[in-house]
């Protein structure tokens, strides 16, 4: 797992209290609190959830202040946690997906996150119902027109600095910036204002996996109290806000949320990750007009210079083995160049091999090759959302991934070019929760996760 975010932050001496002891409520106490929380959510008219690093630890992302947190280990002079998978392949947890279901059901009105892992957005929480207070490691924004770009790769900078890409809006073209705050950066009004608004409206603020030490973010949940709202804190460690909470639950976030969903008789939806890549086929006549020179490129939808982090290599073969040699492209950019006569037609077969962190090994596609001297420029009309929904449904139904479909196709006549954008299912994760009664009458949760292969103040640690 990438620890780049912590390493990129400016150095400060005081990052707050670290290495605090963890507490676990006895099983019978935990079950009573879970049932109490479920009833509070059921009665709630405006539920807001406030999340911290604790909801992502089960995704393989280390926290900061826990016994094995990044800052705890740094202070002790110990080695940092080893990566369990690439940061960009981290998948939403059971808790992330439960929040998606609560939002779809109209129960959850807003999510406020201090995390920069982008998992809430990736899980399916609508952007308009999410405040990422400290930014998103996979998001770039245009400072001129405000456009946002969610990437499949980790943006290289933090601290609201310019990146190497520009806004794709033809009327803008400004240089993009990363969205992740450094210690001295003020919370953006675009994130803090709606967060504050919803906390004031909330009758229940549920804090999940946060030590509630980073100001001013940690004070947001308290804003519900003035209107009679209640606070529930779910965290393994004690927090400075525990005395303000109606209920404090010491337990694993996934376990607590799974229990709540069971009590509410609600299912946790599967997570289906869909990634995108484009294939660009350029063709042109040679100078003597006797041959067709063509180039095939497998590229990122974020631009030709952007990396494809989820693709390891591309194997290329042809329907006419006698004309062309097979090729294996194992370094980016993935480009192959060939020459053929004007009248030849054949099929190009591509095997896209996925990288570490993808549940499926590869997917296969084919492209017919036929040179045409002239053709009107146009874009084929494809219902992208219908294709994506079909891919999701098929992946869940078949309990597997690797499915792909075309979501965009463009033709340019001069120079002759065809661009096909593919969507492909690279990960599938389903969640199962089951209650069982122990001999002493206590309830035990069995959780299974299956994988198929100040308002604008500066961020400060609370002492």
Q: Give residue-wise pLDDT tens across range 340-396.
A: 887 788 899 999 999 999 999 999 999 988 766 555 667 788 999 999 999 999 999
Over the range 352-387, which residues count as b (16 or more CB within 10 Å of their CB) and which as e? bbbeebbbbebbebeeebebeeeeeeeeeeeeeeeb
Distance of CA 335 to the CA centre of its chain: 28
At 8 the pLDDT is 60
How many of the other CB atoms lie within 10 Å of CB of 199? 26
Q: From residue 440, how far is each of 191, 262, 337 by CA, in Å?
A: 48, 21, 70
- Contact at 8 Å (CB) between 50 and 221? yes
* Predicted confidence band of residue 432 (pLDDT cuts 50, 70, 90): confident
Comparing 66 with 138, the larger pLDDT belongs to 138
CB distance 240 to 233 below 8 Å: no
- In this predicted structure, the answer to whether residue 223 has a pLDDT above a threshold of 80 is yes
Q: Average pLDDT over the chain, rounded to whole?
A: 86
User: Annotation-wise, does 167 bind a ligand?
Assistant: yes
pLDDT at residue 304, as a whole number: 87
| Rounded Cα–Cα distance for residues 397 and 390 (Å) | 10
pTM of the model: 0.88
Q: How far is CA 310 from the centre of its chain?
A: 13
* Residue 133 reports pLDDT greater than 80: yes
Q: What is the pLDDT of residue 197?
A: 98
Is 15 a residue whose pLDDT tops 60?
no
pLDDT at 77: 63
| 142 in a known ligand binding site | yes
pLDDT, tens digit, for every residue of 263-290? 999 999 999 999 999 999 998 888 887 8
One of 88, 96, 120, 134 is an active-site residue; which one?
A: 134
Q: Are 298 and 305 in contact (CB under 8 A)?
A: no
C-alpha closest to that of 416 among 291, 293, 277, 279:
293
Any idea how long the chain is?
A: 463
CA distances from 47 to 205, 224, 446 (A): 6, 10, 27
DSSP run (H or E) holding 232: strand 230-234
| pLDDT at 67 > cutoff 50 | yes
* 358 annotated to bind ligand: no
**Residues in contact with 280: Cβ distance below 8 Å, sequence separation at least 6, in sequence order:** 295, 296, 297, 299, 417, 418, 419
134 is a catalytic site residue: yes
């Amino acid at each position: 797992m990438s620890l780049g975010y912590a390493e990129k932050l400016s150095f400060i001496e005081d990052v707050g209290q670290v290495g605090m002891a963890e507490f676990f409520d006895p099983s019978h106490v935990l079950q009573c609190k879970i049932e109490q929380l479920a009833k509070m959510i059921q009665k709630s008219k405006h539920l807001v959830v406030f999340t911290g690093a604790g909801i992502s630890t089960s995704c393989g992302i280390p926290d900061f202040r826990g016994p094995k947190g990044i800052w705890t280990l740094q202070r002790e002079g110990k080695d940092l946690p080893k990566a369990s998978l690439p940061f960009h392949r981290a998948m939403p947890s059971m808790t992330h997906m439960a929040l998606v279901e609560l939002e779809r059901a109209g129960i959850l009105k807003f999510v406020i996150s201090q995390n920069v892992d982008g998992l809430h957005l990736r899980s399916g929480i609508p952007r308009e119902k999410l405040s990422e207070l400290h930014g998103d490691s996979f998001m770039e924004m245009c400072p001129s027109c405000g456009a946002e770009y969610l990437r499949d790769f980790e943006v290289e900078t933090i601290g609201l600095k310019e990146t190497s890409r520009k806004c794709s809006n033809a009327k803008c073209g400004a240089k993009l910036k990363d969205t992740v705050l450094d210690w001295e950066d003020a919370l953006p009004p675009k994130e803090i204002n709606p967060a504050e608004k919803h906390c004031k409206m909330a009758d229940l603020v549920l804090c999940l996996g946060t030590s509630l030490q980073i100001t001013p973010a940690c004070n947001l949940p308290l804003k519900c109290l003035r209107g009679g709202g209640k606070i529930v804190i779910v965290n393994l460690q004690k927090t400075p806000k525990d005395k303000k909470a109606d209920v404090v639950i010491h337990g694993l976030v996934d376990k607590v949320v799974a229990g709540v969903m069971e009590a509410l008789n609600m299912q946790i939806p599967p997570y289906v990750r869909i990634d995108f890549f484009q294939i660009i086929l350029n063709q042109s006549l040679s100078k003597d007009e006797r041959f067709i020179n063509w180039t095939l490129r497998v590229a990122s939808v974020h631009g030709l210079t952007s990396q494809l982090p989820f693709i390891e290599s591309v194997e290329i073969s042809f329907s006419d083995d006698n004309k062309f040699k097979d090729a294996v492209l194992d370094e980016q950019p993935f480009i192959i160049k060939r020459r053929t006569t004007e009248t030849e037609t054949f099929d190009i077969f591509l095997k896209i091999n996925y990288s570490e962190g993808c549940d499926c090994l590869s997917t296969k596609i084919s492209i017919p090759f036929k040179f045409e001297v002239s053709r009107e420029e146009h874009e084929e009309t494809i219902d992208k959302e219908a294709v994506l929904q079909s891919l999701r449904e098929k992946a869940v139904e078949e309990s597997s991934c690797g499915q792909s479909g075309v979501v965009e196709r463009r033709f340019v006549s001069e120079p002759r070019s065809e661009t096909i954008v593919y969507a492909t299912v690279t990960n599938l994760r389903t969640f199962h929760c089951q209650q069982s009664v122990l001999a002493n009458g206590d309830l035990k949760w069995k959780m299974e996760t299956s994988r198929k292969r100040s308002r604008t103040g500066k961020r400060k640690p609370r002492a």
